[in-house]
């Protein structure tokens, strides 16, 4: 084509644009970070110490480098799936449907725990152990057809799946059954009973997958009204951690290939605020500090609870930015920082060296 000849393809695109028929693909946003910043700006009971955040960024990155902390750490965990196929997606989806509220007011020896592979598992790992044990015993706990069958998937069956080696039951068992029921129905009606189709619908976008989960499943719609803000504040902890777990399990490939994984924030739960407090990055007003130390329950959706979650998200975001400012091009994001901090606080807990208890909120959101 000479310089004098028109570019027919370009002319066609221009014509479509002028006629309003051409739509350029817009990458989605989850809105989680935006809401967290709003609450942080408004917060009076949780604050950040900027110097400590900068120091934490240096320390966290140095430790992650020393430990070669990458997505491989996810699969190296003893109970996480070792396969990389559709059954793995189903396992992770089930796991994150039920990934909430494991804390107990009982002493360690009396709290809910699962015996599996000659070990005693508590907290998040009790969930993973129970799911693996159920599959070993022939219970199709990761099959959405099973969740829909009200004669087969009953509360009594769920009690068997999550049976404890202590007298304490897993918390919120009825709520967990409700999550499975709803998810089974939505998967049947919209996704051919297969969570893999959720991932396909997201078309390689982590943010889009989070939004799909929040849109179609009420049990993933972790958003709450906050005084002074027209839109609800979105935390979307379990929706985001599903995306993160898929990304980490598949090492950013195949089902885990998300071009915008860096849009995922940290997962606003009760452990990360505890860790960030221990590092001096966040601190509490005297009334909130007293309530947390006294292990008083803080109701879901209250100002205190939302400040704890939102300020933790914003804190990790600032740490992430500081790491990248100091180390341009570093392979780091909020997901890896969250995984690292969670592992660290669990080690601190095991050693009996916690500076402050985690806050107590009983809900399905985390």
User: Annotated active-site positions, please?
Assistant: 269
The two tokens of residue 231 are: 């839109």
Nearest to 222 by CA among 280, 153, 305, 125: 305
Please tell me the distance from the alpha carbon of residue 32 to that of residue 232, in angstroms, as a whole number.
Answer: 10
> 291-296 long-range contacts, Cβ below 8 Å, gap at least 24?
291/359, 292/356, 292/357, 292/358, 292/359, 293/356, 293/357, 295/105, 295/357, 295/360, 296/360
Please tell me the distance from the alpha carbon of residue 146 to that of residue 162, in angstroms, as a whole number.
Answer: 16
**Pair type for strands 114-116 and 119-121:** antiparallel
Strand partners, 112: none
Distances (CA, A) of 303 to 40, 43, 172, 197: 11, 9, 23, 37
């Amino acid at each position: 084509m000479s310089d004098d000849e028109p570019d027919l393809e370009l002319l066609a695109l221009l014509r479509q644009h002028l006629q309003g028929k051409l739509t350029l693909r817009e990458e989605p946003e989850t809105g989680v970070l935006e809401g967290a910043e709003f609450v942080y700006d408004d917060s009076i009971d949780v604050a950040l110490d900027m110097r400590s955040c900068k120091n934490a960024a240096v320390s966290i990155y140095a430790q992650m480098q020393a430990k070669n902390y990458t997505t491989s750490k996810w699969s190296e965990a003893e109970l996480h799936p070792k396969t990389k196929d559709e059954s793995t997606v189903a396992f992770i989806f089930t796991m994150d449907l039920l990934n909430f509220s494991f804390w107990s007011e009982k002493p360690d020896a009396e709290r809910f725990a699962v015996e599996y592979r000659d070990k005693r598992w508590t907290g998040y790992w009790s969930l993973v152990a129970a799911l693996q044990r159920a599959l070993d015993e022939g219970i199709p706990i990761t099959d959405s057809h099973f969740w829909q069958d009200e004669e087969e998937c009953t509360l009594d069956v769920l009690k068997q799946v999550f049976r404890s080696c202590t007298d304490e039951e897993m918390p919120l068992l009825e709520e967990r059954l409700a999550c499975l029921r709803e998810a089974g129905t939505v998967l049947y009606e919209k996704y051919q009973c297969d969570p893999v189709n959720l991932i396909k619908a997201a078309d390689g976008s982590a943010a889009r997958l989070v939004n799909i989960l929040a849109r179609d499943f009420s049990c993933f719609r972790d958003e709450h009204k906050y005084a002074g803000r027209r839109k609800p504040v979105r935390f979307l902890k379990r929706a985001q951690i599903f995306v993160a777990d898929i990304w980490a399990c598949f090492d950013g490939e195949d089902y885990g290939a998300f071009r915008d994984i860096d849009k995922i924030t940290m997962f606003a739960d009760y452990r990360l605020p505890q860790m960030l407090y221990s590092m001096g990055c966040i601190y509490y007003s005297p009334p909130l500090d007293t309530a947390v130390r006294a292990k008083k329950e803080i109701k879901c959706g209250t100002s205190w609870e939302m400040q704890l979650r939102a300020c933790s998200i914003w804190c990790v975001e600032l740490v992430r930015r500081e790491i990248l400012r100091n180390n341009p091009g570093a392979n780091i994001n909020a997901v890896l920082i969250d995984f690292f901090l969670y592992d660290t606080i669990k080690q601190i807990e095991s050693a009996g060296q916690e500076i402050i208890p985690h806050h107590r909120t009983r809900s399905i959101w985390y």
